[in-house]
Amino acid sequence: MATATRERLAIHGGDPVRRRPWPTWPVWETDDAQAVADVISSGQWFSGSGAKNREFAEFYAGLHDARFAVPCCNGTQALELALRAAGVQAGDEVITSPYTFIATASAIVQVNAVPIFADVEPGSLNLDPVAAEAAITERTRAIVAVHVAGCPANLDAFTLLAERRGLVLIEDAAQAHAAQWNGRGVGAIGRAGTFSFQASKNLNAGEGGIVLTNDPETYERAWSLANCGRVRDGGWYEHRMLSGNYRLTEFQAALLLSQGKRLLEQTARRNDNALYLASQLAAVPGVRPQARDPRITRHAYHLFIFRYDSREFGGLTRDEFLNALRAEGVPCSPGYSPLYRSPAFKIDTGTHPFPAHVDYASLHLPEVEQACAEAVWLTQNTLLGYRRDMDEIVTAVRKIHSAMQQ
Ligand X SMILES: Cc1ncc(COP(=O)(O)O)c(C=O)c1O
* Binding residues vs ligand X (CB under 6 A): 74-76, 100-101, 103-104, 146, 172, 174-175, 196, 198, 209
For residues 127 and 401, what is the distance between their CA atoms, to the nearest angstrom? 31
**145 versus 316: smaller Cβ distance to ligand X:** 145
Asked whether 355 and 311 are in contact (CB, 8 A), the reply is no
**47 versus 104: smaller Cβ distance to ligand X:** 104
For residues 87 and 153, what is the distance between their CA atoms, to the nearest angstrom? 22
Total residues belonging to the chain: 406
For residues 265 and 25, what is the distance between their CA atoms, to the nearest angstrom? 15
Q: Which residues have CB under 8 Å from 69's CB, separation 6+? A: 57, 58, 60, 61, 210, 211, 212
Least gap, CB of 146 to ligand X (angstroms)? 5
Least gap, CB of 78 to ligand X (angstroms)? 7
Q: Which of 58, 84, 103, 60 is nearest to 224 (CA)?
A: 84
Phi first, then psi, for residue 399 (nearest 5°) are: -60, -45
Least gap, CB of 167 to ligand X (angstroms)? 20
**102 versus 157: smaller Cβ distance to ligand X:** 102
Q: Which residues have CB under 8 Å from 275's CB, separation 6+? A: none
Q: Which residue is nearest to ligand X (CB)?
A: 75
The 3-state secondary structure of 53-71, one letter per residue = HHHHHHHHHHHCCCCEEEE
Look at residue 154 and give its three-state secondary structure: coil
Least gap, CB of 239 to ligand X (angstroms)? 25
User: What Å distances lie between residue 290 and 4, 281, 294, 304, 400, CA to CA?
Assistant: 26, 11, 13, 8, 20
**80 versus 133: smaller Cβ distance to ligand X:** 80
Sheet holding 296-298, edge to edge: 184-185, 180-181, 296-298
- The separation between the first and the last C-alpha atoms of the chain, rounded to the nearest angstrom, is 15
**175 versus 382: smaller Cβ distance to ligand X:** 175
User: What Å distances lie between residue 61 and 55, 58, 168, 225, 226, CA to CA?
Assistant: 10, 5, 20, 19, 17
Least gap, CB of 9 to ligand X (angstroms)? 32
